[in-house]
Amino acid sequence: MKWVSILFPAIGVFMFQFLLVDFLSLNMIRPDFLVVYVFYISLVYGKTTGIFTGFLLGLLSDLSGVGSFFGLSPLSLSVTAYLTGYLNGKYERMLPYLFHGAWISIIGFHFIIISYVRFQNILLSDPISFWIKCFMSFSYTMMFLLIIQFFYPVKEASHAEIN
C-alpha cells in the first residue's frame, strides 16, 4: 500500500516534469519537480524509500533524454534523498530555523551538484555567472517548493510517516 501511494504520484510527477515543464521554462531554466517529490518522500518515509524513489526517478529522467552525463540525475536525487532522510521525524527535536536551514541547504546542494557538472565550463571561465546560473535554477524550484508550503508544510511532512 505504501509503495502504491508513492508510485502513482511519482509517475504523475515524472509525466508532469517530462511533458509540461517546458511551458514553465524561463530563459532555458526549468523547475525541477522531481527533486521536490523526492525531498518530500524522504521527509515522510525516510532514507531507504527516498533513495529508491530518487534513484528510479533520476534514471527515468535521464532515460527520457539527456545529451551527456547519463546517470547524473540518479546520483544527485539519491544524495538529496539520503540527506533529507536525516530530517525525517526531526522537526520536534531541532530548532525550527536549523531545520528549515538544513532542508533549504539540501535542495541547494542538489543544484550545486547538477550545475557543477553541467556548467563546469562557465565555472572555469566566469565563476560569477556560474553561481548566478546555479542560484537561478535553485530559486526557480524553491519558488514552487515555497508555494507547496501553503498546502503541505515540511514540518508536517517531517513527522507524517504512514505505516
Partner 1 sequence: MRKFYLALLRYKDHFIFLIAVTLSLTLLLKNDAPDILIIRGKFTDYFSIISSPFSWVKSMIVLQEETELIRQKNIQLTLELEALLLAQEENNILRDFLRFKRESNLKLLAARVVNMGASSNLSSITLDIGSDHGVKVNQPVIVPEGVIGKTVVVGNKSTIVQIIKDVNYRLSVRILPSGNAGILQFISDDICEVRELQKNTEISIGNKVVTSGFSQIYPKNLPVGEVVEVLNERGSFQKIAKVRIKSKLSTLLNVFIVIEESNEVG
Q: Which is nearer to partner 1, 129 or 149 (CB)?
A: 129
Does residue number 39 form part of the binding site for partner 1 (CB under 8 A)? Answer: no
Q: Which residues contact 1 (CB under 8 A, 6 or more apart)?
A: none
* Contact with partner 1 (CB under 8 A) among 29, 102, 104, 112: 29
Q: Phi first, then psi: give them for residue 26, nearest 5 degrees.
A: -120, 115
The C-alpha atoms of residue 63 and residue 74 are separated, in whole angstroms, by 11
Does residue number 1 form part of the binding site for partner 1 (CB under 8 A)? Answer: no
- Whether residue 47 contacts residue 54, with contact meaning beta carbons closer than 8 Å, is answered with no
- Whether residue 43 contacts residue 148, with contact meaning beta carbons closer than 8 Å, is answered with no
Does residue number 95 form part of the binding site for partner 1 (CB under 8 A)? Answer: no
Q: Which is nearer to partner 1, 31 or 95 (CB)?
A: 31
SS3 3: helix
Does residue number 107 form part of the binding site for partner 1 (CB under 8 A)? Answer: no
**Position 45: which residue type?**
Y
We find the least distance from the C-beta atom of residue 72 to partner 1, in angstroms, to be 6
Which residues would be at the binding site for partner 1 (CB under 8 A)? 14-15, 17-23, 25, 27-32, 34, 46-48, 51-52, 54-55, 58-75, 78-79, 82, 85, 111, 114-115, 117-122, 125-126, 129, 133, 137, 141
